[in-house]
Structure 1
Amino acid sequence: MTPTRDLAGLNLSPTARARLEAFEALARRWTGKINLVAPSTVPDLWTRHILDSAQLWPLAPPEAQTWADLGSGGGFPGIVVAILAAEAGTPKVTLIESDQRKCAFLRTAARELGVPVTVLDQRAESAPPQATSVVSARALAPLATLLPLVARHLAPGGTALLPKGRDHAAEIEAARAKGWRFAVEALPSATDPEARLLRLTDLAHG
């Protein structure tokens, strides 16, 4: 295995790796039609999107039974998580995405890859609260804007996994200034030395 095809140290079965590679190919084909990811990132799609998504998987509590991904877009991290969840048997994955074309892609990907997911074609602020063990969101909104959506769908005692860029510390400060309380771990990213994977627990407001 070459370093560029590594998956953050995950010990994957041949089936899971084959599904991820099939998803990469599918995402490349569809991106030309509906712009799933930024065109500039397509040449490095494996690292910039699949590896970047897969590194969230080991950060989830092992006992997690449900996972909601907000603003799933092109399936990063939602479909990647669903592939890894199918291998493990849990959690059940729900993808929330308001763009109808991207929802069509998500459903096609899940069907072709043989992974069970629920796709809700709604905005995160209007979708029925999911009360999931884990909520993720990647490149959706600044933390202060994102946390009301996370809180809407996160079960009490749940974990939020939120990749953030170089301004992660400022976003944490801004969210706390808006009255949000949480415990946070800012974990290093395998794909960007300036980014962090925020693992939030004990989320509350006021």
Structure 2
Amino acid sequence: MTLSTEVEAQDWLCDDLDIDAAGMDRLSHLVALLLEENEKQNLVARGTLPHVWVRHIVDSAQLLHVSRGTLPDGPWIDLGTGAGFPGLVVAALQPERPVTLVDSRRLRTEWLQRAADALDLVNVDVVLSRVEDLPSTPHAVISARAFAPLDKLVTLSARFSTPDTLWLLPKGAGAPHELQMLPESWCHMFHVEQSLTDPDAGIIVGRLLSGSAPAQKNQARKGKRK
């Protein structure tokens, strides 16, 4: 199934994800805030705005669906969150869950904080930082939407993960290829789920059990520091 219209997207949220009226109100408010702010700064491509519910809201909310009942309780971290997708949508739908939104761009983080305040999302922590500079704190869920290729993302983010952490990584058509290219030094249980919003896109889902970045990459980095 692929959702293609705004009506289908909102119906799916209510019928399949079972979002209540309060949750839908928060999402509607988020859409209004996004449309207003996008006139001031380019949060998302203008061509996606007529399909904002499909392209951004459901594209984010579907992470709660593809986890198929395996979504662990506990803090969620969204890396390179940009305009808050998927992290801000998750926070709006699960206001009891701590959600950390990380981005290295000040204007984006200022917008995220204003949006979280406007939606009364006290569960949101907005962090202005590069991923490399974050403290090594484990999280129950890690998400990242179009932030970095999988091998780089895992290398940067493994220190936020335990064997119980669920990774939810929206990708484009290259998701299977990225998964195949992940070095064997990473022991994982990742697989690709079909996106509900793009027939050509996939979502990498699973757990990182153990491993480390390939030695040659570490050696290359050390060589550059000399």
Q: Do Structure 1 and Structure 2 share a fold, with TM-score over 0.5?
A: yes
Structure 1 position 78, deviation (Å)? 0.9
Aligned to 2:201: 195
Distance 1:106 1:166, change over 3 A: same
- Matching residue's letter, 2:48: T
SS at match of 2:31: helix
Aligned to 1:167: 174
**Deviating more after overlay: 59-68 vs 163-172:** 59-68
The number of residues matched between the two structures is 202
1:27 aligns with 2:5: no
SS at match of 1:32: coil
**Deviating more after overlay: 72-81 vs 155-164:** 155-164
**Deviating more after overlay: 152-161 vs 112-121:** 152-161
Structure 1 position 62, deviation (Å)? 4.1
Aligned to 1:54: 61
The answer (yes or no) to whether the contact 1:69–1:94 under 8 Å persists in 2 is yes
Aligned to 1:97: 103
Deviation digits for residues 112-166 of structure 1, max 9, x if unmatched? 0011201111011111123100000001111111112231222342111001111
1:69 aligns with 2:78: yes
1:132 aligns with 2:139: yes
Aligned to 1:5: 10
Aligned to 1:79: 88
- TM normalised by structure 1 equals 0.91
Aligned to 2:46: 39
The answer (yes or no) to whether the contact 2:60–2:90 under 8 Å persists in 1 is yes
Larger Rg: 1 or 2? 2
Aligned to 1:16: 23
Distance 1:4 1:125, change over 3 A: same
Structure 1 position 98, deviation (Å)? 0.8
Distance 1:34 1:203, change over 3 A: farther
Aligned to 2:222: none
**Deviating more after overlay: 38-47 vs 69-78:** 38-47
**Deviating more after overlay: 120-129 vs 51-60:** 51-60
For residue 153 of structure 2, the aligned residue among 146, 166, 170 is 146
- Matching residue's letter, 1:17: M
What is the CA RMSD across the aligned residues, in angstroms? Answer: 1.7
Identify, as 1 or 2, the structure richer in strand: 1
Deviation digits for residues 33-55 of structure 1, max 9, x if unmatched? 12111222122111101110000
SS at match of 1:119: strand
> Unmatched 5+ residue regions in structure 2?
1-5, 213-226
Q: What percentage of aligned pairs have identical amino acids?
A: 37
> Unmatched 5+ residue regions in structure 1?
none
For residue 119 of structure 2, the aligned residue among 96, 113, 124 is 113
- Matching residue's letter, 1:146: L
- Matching residue's letter, 2:118: E
The answer (yes or no) to whether the contact 1:125–1:152 under 8 Å persists in 2 is no
